[in-house]
Structure 1
Amino acid sequence: MFNQTFDSPLIRRIAIVGSGLAGLTAAIQLQGLGHHITVFEKSRGPGGRLAAKRVTGGSADLGAQYFTSRNPEFLPFLRKFAGPDSFGRWQGRFGFQADADKWESFPQETRYVGTPRMTAITRALSEHARVVTETRVGKLARNDQSWAISDTDGNHLGDFDAVIITAPPAQARELLADSGLKNLASHLDDPVSRVLPCWAVAAHFPVSPWVYHEGMRCRHPALFWVANNSSKPGREDEGQWWVLHASPAWTEAHVDTPADQVADKLLAAFRETTGFDTGPDEVVTHRWLYARSEGGEQPGHLWFPDYRLGLAGDWLSGGRVEGAFDSACGLVAELNALAATR
């Protein structure tokens, strides 16, 4: 798939909105097929849910905690374009809380993380694409056979033959609605309702607060996931940084709670779960409004040929990190097949 050629007079210039794994995968593959690609990213750098925050002594992964590989093309793609040193195996012990006092092991599966942080993967991938950062796309305007794209301040960003949106469904729907494409935006009503928020807290402990697992799924009503970030490969921390993810229901109930209060409540839940009551000595908090998708149809990607507009993202393909790659691959394959028929 990656070494095929592409020659179409109709679709040459493509804009991609979002520089997460889906956007960068699509950009790299489409460039390999002969397209001219520009990726627009609202933040200072690429990443999407492969996110990390700087903390004392290093960084902590506050978004996706790890990824697996079931598609045989996924890891070869990462090795080729991100480099073999940008990720590695997380050989931790993983457990889930069967009841208040009983822990059981996760099924055996190879888990990978970015090294020395999750963003290492997308930053390496972004070197193979033209990424325009700190630019929020605000409107798409159809001009004959092309799209005129402008930012939220009304500045013209360029004209393109096709557009691919890889933002979360709520942001994608908003962009489509603001562009007068309410018929397309309506396709996202159900996916938007299924996206779950998540409060995340990174906490530093001078000594280990839990010695039995490096990653664990909790039964506590406030906690969904807890992990020893310092146990991941490439981390050189003094002490241990732990990441706490709140449950979706708890996050929804506390979505507007001040961050310091959220941290206090989640750390209290962590103490109840582990019994450890010393520390932490540093805390970083982040609120994800669009953390992950749950349920609903999973078409893999969406392509509207009459508009030359597509959508890709993990929310269209199972919600896992690898789903972002699968979604982008499916959309690129459809575009390539479309060109072959012309």
Structure 2
Amino acid sequence: MTTPEAAREDLEGPWHVAVVGAGIAGLSCARALAARGIRVTVFESAPAPGGRLAALQTDCGLHDAGAPWACVRSESLAREIRGWADADVVRSWPAVAVEIDNSWIRRASSAGARGLRFVGMPTMAALGQHLAQGVDVVLQARVARLARGREEWFLFDPINRQLGIAGFDAVVLAVPSPVAAALAHGWTELVARVEAVRWDACWVGALTLARACGLDFDVARIHADPILAMAVRESAKPGRVADEAGEGEGGERWTLTAHAGWSNRFSDLTPDEAVRWMQKAFAARLARVLVPKCAVGMRWHHALPVNPLAEPFLWDAERRIGFAGDWCGGATVDAAVVSGTELGKVVGG
């Protein structure tokens, strides 16, 4: 990791690529580029890599606030998972899963609809940290504007300071499509494709109970509820029970996810208001009294792409600007890995 002031050292090499966004797609792209001998610098506005694999810290422990797990559908992620498992960055999770409707609870497969679930250790944020190892990642460096010379791209922050000592031969925008479209506006005809992708917001509630609620499942997909879409017993994931208090000591932690319609409609709620509504909905659906020990809410503005592109990436070879993310090919961790990896194979080719 480096600071913006030391973002670029003068090294020999015909290409230097800037990747904007240190989520899974951006880091996968950077690693694919580096594997081909192409120099790459990643710029990330957040204080840590990982994007929507972020962990939410509460007084009672950590919650996976973004993707709750990864399911393998591609060979690209299968290769990564093998390496992550060897490094103890992920473990498989044979969760007890159910589907909940108004009048019934139906047992579902422990493997999930898309294959065996893998979770990060100690949180999903570990995947981003692991992928960032050995990559030149500049944290807390928000790219606000692009400029182009005759052959090079230049990146600028919100106060118009140049990021990087010199220009870049190509730019990859691995950020949510509205952000990418705003940066690339006027530079490539691909912007029209990028702008067409729509997004849903998502409220997330991190709930720790003062006493265990006695449920016999770990994951619930909730149907026909005005608020909730899913509930995940965070403390049932591998390696989580040892965090803070154990479940028997009042450390049962649940991550609640609101559905898109409610999240979009009630975007003006405060985090405290949102988590209270979600807690009430969970208690009502279970017909139980839930006594919270900690309750924290957060909202993802760009949570899930509604109409992701069919292609895994977009690349303008003439302008040397590309786009990657889980909004290319599907809204999953798997799609993000494939998107970044495949784009990294063609940039500079």
Global fold match (TM > 0.5): yes
Letter matched to residue 326 of structure 2: D
Structure 1 residues 37 and 82: alpha-carbon distance in aligned structure 2, compared to 1, 3 A threshold: farther
Name 2:238's counterpart in structure 1.
233
2:290 pairs with 1:275 = no
Structure 1 residues 110 and 65: alpha-carbon distance in aligned structure 2, compared to 1, 3 A threshold: same
Letter matched to residue 66 of structure 1: W
What secondary structure, in the 3-state scheme, does the structure 2 residue paired with 1:170 have?
A: helix
Name 1:135's counterpart in structure 2.
141
Of structures 1 and 2, the one scoring higher in RCO (CA 8 A, sep 6+) is 2
What secondary structure, in the 3-state scheme, does the structure 1 residue paired with 2:276 have?
A: helix
Assess if the C-alpha contact under 8 Å between 1:12 and 1:34 holds in 2. Answer: no
TM-score by length of 1: 0.90
Distance 2:18 2:86 in 1: 25
What secondary structure, in the 3-state scheme, does the structure 2 residue paired with 1:65 have?
A: coil
Assess if the C-alpha contact under 8 Å between 1:146 and 1:161 holds in 2. Answer: yes
Assess if the C-alpha contact under 8 Å between 1:27 and 1:39 holds in 2. Answer: yes
Distance 1:184 1:74 in 2: 27
Name 1:312's counterpart in structure 2.
324
1:82 CA drift (Å) = 8.2
What secondary structure, in the 3-state scheme, does the structure 1 residue paired with 2:264 have?
A: helix
Alignment equivalent of 2:261, drawn from 241, 249, 259: 249
What secondary structure, in the 3-state scheme, does the structure 2 residue paired with 1:26 have?
A: helix
Taking the TM superposition and a 5 Å limit, the aligned residue runs for 1:262-341 are 262-335=274-347, 339=349
Distance 1:296 1:129 in 2: 28
Distance 2:96 2:81 in 1: 25
Q: Percent identity?
A: 30
Distance 1:73 1:185 in 2: 27
Alignment equivalent of 2:182, drawn from 170, 174, 182: 174
What secondary structure, in the 3-state scheme, does the structure 1 residue paired with 2:156 have?
A: strand
Distance 1:267 1:240 in 2: 14
Name 2:129's counterpart in structure 1.
123
Alignment equivalent of 1:28, drawn from 28, 31, 39: 31
Alignment equivalent of 1:198, drawn from 198, 202, 206: 202
What secondary structure, in the 3-state scheme, does the structure 2 residue paired with 1:49 have?
A: helix
What secondary structure, in the 3-state scheme, does the structure 2 residue paired with 1:186 have?
A: helix
Point out where structure 2 has 5 or more consecutive residues left out of the alignment. 1-11, 246-250
Distance 1:240 1:282 in 2: 10
Letter matched to residue 221 of structure 1: P
Point out where structure 1 has 5 or more consecutive residues left out of the alignment. 1-8
What secondary structure, in the 3-state scheme, does the structure 2 residue paired with 1:290 have?
A: strand
Assess if the C-alpha contact under 8 Å between 2:69 and 2:119 holds in 1. Answer: yes
Letter matched to residue 130 of structure 1: D
Distance 1:81 1:12 in 2: 29
Distance 2:268 2:188 in 1: 29
What secondary structure, in the 3-state scheme, does the structure 2 residue paired with 1:334 have?
A: coil
Structure 1 residues 30 and 83: alpha-carbon distance in aligned structure 2, compared to 1, 3 A threshold: farther
Structure 1 residues 204 and 244: alpha-carbon distance in aligned structure 2, compared to 1, 3 A threshold: same
Distance 1:80 1:71 in 2: 15
Distance 1:52 1:160 in 2: 32
What secondary structure, in the 3-state scheme, does the structure 2 residue paired with 1:74 have?
A: helix
Distance 2:188 2:338 in 1: 27
1:55 CA drift (Å) = 2.2
Letter matched to residue 299 of structure 2: R
How well do the aligned residues superpose, as a CA RMSD in angstroms?
1.9
Aligned length, in residue pairs: 324
What secondary structure, in the 3-state scheme, does the structure 2 residue paired with 1:323 have?
A: helix
Alignment equivalent of 1:149, drawn from 152, 155, 158: 155
Letter matched to residue 55 of structure 2: A
What secondary structure, in the 3-state scheme, does the structure 1 residue paired with 2:256 have?
A: strand
1:79 CA drift (Å) = 4.2
Alignment equivalent of 1:53, drawn from 56, 68, 74: 56
Deviations 1:22-81 (A, max 9, x none): 111111111111111100000001011111012235311111011111223323324447
Distance 1:196 1:66 in 2: 19
Distance 2:86 2:347 in 1: 27
Assess if the C-alpha contact under 8 Å between 2:60 and 2:208 holds in 1. Answer: no
Name 1:3's counterpart in structure 2.
none
Deviations 1:286-332 (A, max 9, x none): 11011111235321100011110000111101111110011112212
Name 2:226's counterpart in structure 1.
221
Distance 1:182 1:12 in 2: 20
Assess if the C-alpha contact under 8 Å between 1:82 and 1:122 holds in 2. Answer: no
TM-score by length of 2: 0.88
